Amino acid sequence: MKLFFLNLFIVFLGQGCAQNTKQSEEINTAFPDSLKIKKTDAEWRKILPQEVFDVTRKAGTECAGTDKFKNNKEKGIYHCYCCDLELFSSEHKFNSGTGWPSYFQVYDKRNIHIEIDSSIGMIREEVSCSRCDAHLGHVFNDGPEPTGLRYCINSVALKFKKKDS
């Protein structure tokens, strides 16, 4: 009986991953190599604060609950900290209760790249910046309508630019 439930769980998990993978295929569009920003770790280390470097260049994660944008209610666009590419709109931000900024939609599908991440023994989809390859966070299929997605993003990977009135 335990084996039956284990197999059922594996099938369920596989279906969730398949749904996410389909989303990845829809989102991943080529960002021209001629517009990509490529730097060595040494170059990034010189221009980024340590915590930003650890998260964006080494796929780290900031501590839950340290979201620097938690109380930000202003209208604007969240940009990549490393290269200033537009990533998320404040109009698509929601409180997921996870301790990280969450968005149900990206600003422009061409500006992010999604790939499978199995680094901690579970299958997730990693979100990165298409222009500079900065690690941003992960996307899950448990978000609100209309997309059903939750982009769980490290706040240190973002800069906020207020919308002009």
CATH of the domain at 81: 2.170.150.20
Over range 122-138, report the average pLDDT. 96
Full domain range(s) for residue 138: 2-162
Local structure of 64: helix, strand or coil: coil
Over range 34-38, report the average pLDDT. 90
Give the strands of the sheet with 158-162, arranged side by side: 86-89, 76-80, 158-162
Over range 40-45, report the average pLDDT. 98
CA-to-CA distance for 37 and 89, rounded, in angstroms?
22
The β-bridge partners of 79 are 86, 159
pLDDT band at 147 (very low <50, low <70, confident <90, very high): very high
Number of domains making up the chain: 1
Look at 22-31, 32-41, 128-137, 151-160 and tell me which has the smallest mean pLDDT.
22-31
CA-to-CA distance for 132 and 160, rounded, in angstroms?
18
CA-to-CA distance for 18 and 13, rounded, in angstroms?
9
DSSP H or E run through 77: strand 76-80
Q: Rounded mean pLDDT of the chain? A: 85
On the question of a cis peptide bond just before residue 32, with omega within 30 degrees of 0, the verdict is no
Over range 73-85, report the average pLDDT. 97
pLDDT band at 103 (very low <50, low <70, confident <90, very high): very high
Task: Return the closest-CA partner of residue 153 out of 49, 82, 80.
Answer: 80
Which carries the bigger pLDDT value, residue 16 or residue 28?
Answer: 28
Q: Classify residue 46 as exposed, middle or buried by CB count within 10 Å of its CB (0-12, 13-18, 19+).
A: exposed
Q: What is the DSSP letter of 62?
A: P
Tokens of 44: 């990034």
pLDDT band at 7 (very low <50, low <70, confident <90, very high): very low
Query: What's the pLDDT at 11?
Result: 33
Which is the catalytic residue, given 80, 129, 132, 152?
152
CA-to-CA distance for 17 and 22, rounded, in angstroms?
9
Residue 152 known to be catalytic: yes
Whether 135 shows a pLDDT value over 60: the answer reads: yes
